[in-house]
Structure 1
Amino acid sequence: MKIIVVSDRGDRTHSFHLNKLTRYGAAALLLSLIVAVSFFSYKLYSLNSQDGFQQQANQTWSVRLDRQRGDIADIQQQAERDLSALTLQIADIQSRLVRIDALGQRVAEAAKLAKGEFDFSRKPAVGGPSSADGDATLNYQPPAFMDLINQLNAELNDRERQLKIINDIMVNREQSSESFLSGRPIKKGWLSSPFGRRTDPFNGRIAMHNGVDFAGEEGSKVIAVAAGVVTFEGRMSGYGNMVELTHSNGYKTRYAHNATHLVKVGDVVKKGDPITLMGSTGRSTGPHVHFEVLRNDVKVDPSRYIYRASR
């Protein structure tokens, strides 16, 4: 194979003779050059493509990070608002606890409870076994405000327990006082006839008077001397209009010669409640109330109950 090379001006020529081996080498060189150019072109394209992908990825992550920063800022603001609200609630609980302490102390003093039995000025005693060594909870330290909340909760529970006990004591005392027979069955009036043997005002004979009489103005109020249930209301021979109350511990009281009844059978009355209006019905010489006390259905002298001190 002969190759002729002509100069730029065309006045010179050179010729080369290529044998078979030389032709193969040139072809291989040309092929290598083409492969090299193709490889570098691919690498350049790949680098450009990766730069574009990386830039797009960076933009995407930048948007996400900006959004997360905004979310974190919102969460932080909400947490600050919640903490402020919690602080106000803690302050309110503390002020209420102070008022409860003062109230509990006054109630304990008013109830005349043993000194030191109920102390609203000290913190509740607490304790208990510690967690086992190596417990994961030992590594956790709660926030300071959680300690305060737990302390307030313990104090409130302690105050609630003490107030409940005091309330139970007061209720029992009130019930005991309500059911305790004592005092006169009238608000205004005077004792006109005692319990025992006396001259009967109608026939002049000596007879047993099984109650006491309190005279007063017609229509004045007759009251219950203890809490009870109305078990009779109506007319009874010799008693005229009569109301009978049944009390605890086997006691009954009777109120006779009434003008008008203010209660009916089944009514529950408290100590001091008006139950009748004074009259002069039945065997009576004038407005008064005949008052009887029965213990286990046996009539006893009411005087021992009229003059004893109330609980």
Structure 2
Amino acid sequence: MDILITHGNMARTRSMHVRPIQLWLTGTVVLVLLMLLSGTIYHVIFLKAAREGWPVVSHLVRLVVRDEFEQRDRFMRENLDAMAQKVGEMQAKVIKLEAVGSRVSGLAGIKAEELRALDAAGSPASAPAKPAAGAAGAGGGGRGGPFVPASTPSIEQLNEVLAQLDVQTDHGSDVFTLVESRLLEKRLEMMMVPSIAPVAGGVGSGFGFRVDPFNGRAALHTGLDYPAPVGTPIRAAAAGVVRSAEPDGAYGLSLELDHGNGLVTRYAHNSRILVKPGELVRRGQDIAMVGNTGRSTGPHLHFEVLLGGVPQNPARFLARGEGLDAAEKTAAATQSRGKARRGR
């Protein structure tokens, strides 16, 4: 392709030869520059005019890009609706967790005053509920339930509800922490207090006055007798330290455990002792074997509980331990059911 360039009738004409590839590259560069220029003008001028509401330009831009704005608004509304539905589901789950927390806290022995103290410290239960716009009546009465908006909520409304959910979850976490602490306290208390029968099976002779099997006279029986074959394992009724493990007159081969605070358990008439003085034993650990040593008419375990050296009725301690075991198992089952519901 030849291009002739002249400045007048008398001027010398110049000739320029342009190859097709050069022409194609030049056209491409010009097209790219025009696209960049148009994009810059669109983003810098027209979009700014649309956002800031310039009198004439913004109206023209909105007419041109109306479909784009409508699509963007529809997308935002759909997202807000989905977020509102999710927030409502979260609120329903939080309400269920609060109900489970109330039941478990009752089983753990937490008093209502303690929960009210948590509420007074800034929980949602202590904060008065905000009445909705247009709600009839401003009197008392309980309020609650999941967040189900009548129309598409705003970002501010969703943020407010999410903030309330955050406070509610913090409060629920505090309640469950208190429940866990109380259950651990009860467990430790149960471990240090005689709470499990040292030998499986029924009691042959209880605590109190009875006819002595040797002389036939009324006498105080200071413990519980558990009839069992010789060699039957004997468990520690509570955690403690071995105080003594030796023959002790009428008690025969006897074992005593010190549980602190003046509380001692005694296991008498043993055939064999499995622990040594000063040894720390766990609750439920095998510590001896049933025998027929000392003042005994047959193989059995004589079990005593002494507080400050004074014999106590072991049945009261064991019954209390059974109650604590039942409460702990019920609380664990309730928590398991709550986790199973949350996992559905």
Q: TM-score, normalised by structure 1?
A: 0.53
Find out whether 1:268 has 2:282 as its counterpart: yes
| Root mean square deviation of aligned Cα | 5.1
Q: Is the 8 A contact 2:228 2:301 kept in 1?
A: no
Give CA-to-partner distance per residue, 1:285-308, whole Å, 9 cap, x none: 421113333434x3x2233x4346
Letter matched to residue 62 of structure 1 = S
After superposition, the Cα gap between the structure-2 partners of 1:172 and 1:54, relative to the gap in structure 1 and judged at 3 Å, is same
Q: Is the 8 A contact 2:240 2:260 kept in 1?
A: no
Q: Distance in 2 between matches of 1:242 and 1:195?
A: 21
Q: How does 1:149-188 map to 2 (within 5 A)?
A: 149-181=162-194, 185-188=198-201
After superposition, the Cα gap between the structure-2 partners of 1:191 and 1:302, relative to the gap in structure 1 and judged at 3 Å, is farther
After superposition, the Cα gap between the structure-2 partners of 1:257 and 1:88, relative to the gap in structure 1 and judged at 3 Å, is farther
Q: Distance in 2 between matches of 1:228 and 1:157?
A: 36
Q: Distance in 1 between matches of 2:201 and 2:283?
A: 20
Find out whether 1:302 has 2:312 as its counterpart: yes
Deviation at 1:224, TM superposition (A): 4.1
* Percentage of pairs with the same residue: 24
Find out whether 1:146 has 2:159 as its counterpart: yes
Q: How does 1:93-242 map to 2 (within 5 A)?
A: 93-111=90-108, 113-115=110-112, 118=115, 123-126=124-127, 143-181=156-194, 185-192=198-205, 211-212=222-223, 214-218=225-229, 219-220=231-232, 222-225=234-237, 227-232=238-243, 234-238=245-249, 239-242=251-254
Q: Is the 8 A contact 2:244 2:257 kept in 1?
A: no
Partner of 1:145, secondary structure, is: helix
Letter matched to residue 178 of structure 2 = I
Larger radius of gyration between Structure 1 and Structure 2: 1
Q: Is the 8 A contact 2:247 2:253 kept in 1?
A: yes
Q: Is the 8 A contact 1:186 1:222 kept in 2?
A: yes
Q: Is the 8 A contact 2:269 2:302 kept in 1?
A: yes
Letter matched to residue 289 of structure 1 = L
After superposition, the Cα gap between the structure-2 partners of 1:214 and 1:124, relative to the gap in structure 1 and judged at 3 Å, is same
Tell me whether 157-166 or 177-186 shows the greater mean CA deviation.
177-186
After superposition, the Cα gap between the structure-2 partners of 1:200 and 1:125, relative to the gap in structure 1 and judged at 3 Å, is closer
After superposition, the Cα gap between the structure-2 partners of 1:152 and 1:192, relative to the gap in structure 1 and judged at 3 Å, is closer
Structure 1: segments with no counterpart, 5+ residues = 1-52, 128-140
Letter matched to residue 306 of structure 1 = A
- Aligned residue pair count: 232
Q: Distance in 2 between matches of 1:200 and 1:258?
A: 19
Give CA-to-partner distance per residue, 1:247-275, whole Å, 9 cap, x none: 131211111222455767322216xx665
Q: Distance in 1 between matches of 2:90 and 2:257?
A: 48
Q: Which runs of 4+ in 1 moved over 6 A?
A: 53-56, 65-69, 79-85, 119-122, 193-200
Find out whether 1:60 has 2:36 as its counterpart: yes
Q: Distance in 1 between matches of 2:201 and 2:166?
A: 53
Deviation at 1:144, TM superposition (A): 2.5
Q: Is the 8 A contact 1:210 1:292 kept in 2?
A: no
Find out whether 1:293 has 2:305 as its counterpart: yes
Give CA-to-partner distance per residue, 1:15-57, whole Å, 9 cap, x none: xxxxxxxxxxxxxxxxxxxxxxxxxxxxxxxxxxxxxx99975
